[in-house]
Structure 1
Amino acid sequence: MAVVHNSKILEFLELVGRLKHYKRTGWVLCDIDECESIAGHMYRMGMMTFLLTDETNTTNLDRFKCLQIALVHDLAECIVGDLTPHCGVSPEEKHRREDEAMKQIAELTGIAGDRMYHLYKEYENQSSPEANFAKDLDRYDMILQAFEYEKRENKPNKLQEFFTATEGKFKHPFIQGLVQELYSQREEFEKKSQLNGKA
């Protein structure tokens, strides 16, 4: 069995640490001040996996695996950055760069890296129920964050493009319920803003 040197682990941890400071591109392009980091996005996705209880986990997902996928799904961005459709990079090229980055990251940590790479591929290929759920979390965290920015700036519908991009794409019943709640709160926020505007 290959021995992983501590110097390699330190290199890995420094790469991961970059995600604490890299801003999410989508918000930067929308001129959102003090927007979230990539790590912040992954953290809230991870926290959402704790909400899978006997009551909400109707499809018997492996909660720990969902958490692991949430924590590695954007890991490649510590090397390639957060590439969006607005960055002028084709989806194929984006996947190629991210795959290359994940292989680099995996090589630093041996068996642990193999596990991370496998989970990343599972997410990319959407090849398990847990990967599907993580995709729901990814999209849900994005629209929840968009709504939080709309409220913070008091600009209803400013970030509608994020809602339009995800509409009808949520699969898990628990997340679908959370989406409905978010939509209804957003509608309420819009109505109140209109009333205040007329006052």
Structure 2
Amino acid sequence: MALIVENKKILEFLELHVKRTGWVICDIEDCESIAGHMYRMGLMTFLLTEENNPTKLDRFRCLQIALIHDLAECIVGDLTPHCGVSPEEKHRREDEAMKTIAELTGIAGDRMYDLYKEYENQSSPEAKFAKDLDRYDMILQAFEYEKREGAPKKLEEFFQATYGKFNHPFIQGLATELYRQREEFEKKTLVNGGST
């Protein structure tokens, strides 16, 4: 009987799915989910190599943190500064949500909660790298939406919120390339009269 209850809870956990609020507020149709965001961050951890990882980050730990860092949002929603919730209240709600998720996931829950707290407290180099990934994925996604809609600078606020905040050299390099491509896209769109 205990296994049936545990499996029921695990199924409930796996069904959690929410769109990212920032994109919804900006009227982006068919926008990414929190799960999609964490998945791409997870994939980006595989791009760490001996050459671009001078601080010898634990790639598996980076992957785990990337896949956990926003998990609470599946319950509380993706709370942004536009939502009128104080940072303290946001953290309190997310912490409670992670405790609920930890309960739903059984024995794996303690590990998930610990990784979440590591990210929230920025208490390891891997957690700090995951924060860089989080910010980078946001601007990468913003640029993809700008290109899709042929609307350069439409999502400038996301770039302004992250500019100068990347710390890991690998992510700094990716951000520099993204800024270059975005500038090129803007010029090309202006030359073509607003169409790409």
Instruction: Give the corresponding residue for 2:20.
Output: 24
> What TM-score, normalized by structure 2, do the two folds share?
0.94
Q: How many residues align?
A: 194
Instruction: Give the corresponding residue for 2:123.
Output: 127
> What TM-score, normalized by structure 1, do the two folds share?
0.93
Instruction: Tell me: CA distance 1:66–1:194, structure 2 relative to 1, closer, same or farther (3 Å).
Output: same
Residue identity (%): 78
Within-5 A mapping of 1:49-68: 49-68=45-64
Gaps of 5+ in 1: none
Instruction: Give the corresponding residue for 1:149.
Output: 145
Q: Is the 8 A contact 1:12 1:105 kept in 2?
A: no
Q: Which digits, 9 at most, give the CA deviation of each residue in 1:104-148, with x for residues without a partner?
A: 111233431111000000000100000000000000000000000
User: How far is the alpha carbon of 1:198 from its aligned partner?
Assistant: 8.3
Gaps of 5+ in 2: none
Cα RMSD between the aligned structures? 1.5
Instruction: Give the corresponding residue for 2:183.
Output: 187
User: How far is the alpha carbon of 1:7 from its aligned partner?
Assistant: 2.3
Within-5 A mapping of 1:37-56: 37-56=33-52
Determine the C-alpha separation between the residues in 2 that align with 1:55 and 1:13: 40
Within-5 A mapping of 1:27-106: 27-106=23-102
Q: What amino acid does structure 2 have at the position aligned with 1:16?
A: L
Determine the C-alpha separation between the residues in 1 that align with 2:112 and 2:102: 7
User: How far is the alpha carbon of 1:75 from its aligned partner?
Assistant: 0.9
Stretches (4+) displaced over 3 A: none
Determine the C-alpha separation between the residues in 2 that align with 1:139 and 1:127: 17
Q: What amino acid does structure 2 have at the position aligned with 1:189?
A: F
Determine the C-alpha separation between the residues in 2 that align with 1:88 and 1:9: 36
Q: Which digits, 9 at most, give the CA deviation of each residue in 1:72-103, with x for residues without a partner?
A: 11111121111111111110000000001111
Q: What amino acid does structure 2 have at the position aligned with 1:127?
A: S
